[in-house]
Amino acid sequence: DGGITQSPKYLFRKEGQNVTLSCEQNLNHDAMYWYRQDPGQGLRLIYYSQIVNDFQKGDIAEGYSVSREKKESFPLTVTSAQKNPTAFYLCASSSGQAAADTQYFGPGTRLTVL
Amino acid sequence: EDQVTQSPEALRLQEGESSSLNCSYTVSGLRGLFWYRQDPGKGPEFLFTLYSAGEEKEKERLKATLTKKESFLHITAPKPEDSATYLCAVQGASNTGKLIFGQGTTLQVKP
């Protein structure tokens, strides 16, 4: 069954802690993305990667870090420098082969800071 | 700067009452306009991609249309299971791989 998985579904973080959100895809897609969704706001791009071992900052990268060591995986670390990390985090992937290829989303991780 | 505005923010319909959702956009060199459906607590589900003005796509009770400034998602004879938030996004020539999302329209269909 092809798709995108994210784990965990719910994550609780204490202030000052770093946490890592997992994103895996078996669609053989080259490009992967991380978005943040807050109530009443559209999805905002945090980081994206169009190829293994390369990634670019999105619109709200401060306080986040990523790695892309394998084609299938694109983990996101929320660092203690992120001042307001409570949000719904969405990972997406696309083939990366077309000028406007469709992005497919995972089920999301809800992060809450205690 | 690329921008997307969706209206209305919320829409309540009776079952069978057809209506339209609007997505107005400003983008330099539209490469694609995307519609997604999102249920509460879940990731967005892809519905349609439109590439050029005049294009139309249909899926069950949904029909998406595109002009040079806006897109409409027409819902014909909606059912309660069509209740969800509908998201519109654009990709422009200056933002390779990046989608710019609107805030979404939350649709509630009452039986």
Q: What are the average pLDDT values for consecutive 10-residue runs of chain B, which has 111 residues?
A: 94 98 94 96 96 96 97 98 97 82 97 96
| DSSP helix/strand/coil, B81 | helix
- Give the confidence band of A34 by pLDDT, cuts at 50, 70, 90: very high
Radius of gyration, alpha carbons of chain B: 13
Q: CA angle, corner B2, sides to A110 and B6, nearest 5?
A: 60
Q: Look at residues A49, A42, A28 and name the one whose alpha carbon lies nearest to residue A91.
A: A49
Residue B104 CA: distances (Å) to CA of A43, B8, B77, B93: 9, 9, 21, 23
A53/chain B closest Cα distance in angstroms: 17
The partner residue sitting opposite B98, judged by closest CB among A45, A90, A96, is: A45
pLDDT of residue A1: 60
Average pLDDT over residues A6-29: 94
Question: By 3-state DSSP, what share of chain B in percent is helix, strand and coil, each rounded to 5?
Answer: 5, 60, 40
More confident residue, A101 or A59: A59
Q: Which of A21, A49, A102 best probes binding to B when mutated, by most B CB atoms within 10 angstroms? A: A102
Question: Would you call B104 and A45 a contact, using CB atoms and an 8 Å cutoff?
Answer: no
Question: Would you call A43 and B45 a contact, using CB atoms and an 8 Å cutoff?
Answer: no
pLDDT of residue B97: 75
pLDDT of residue A40: 79
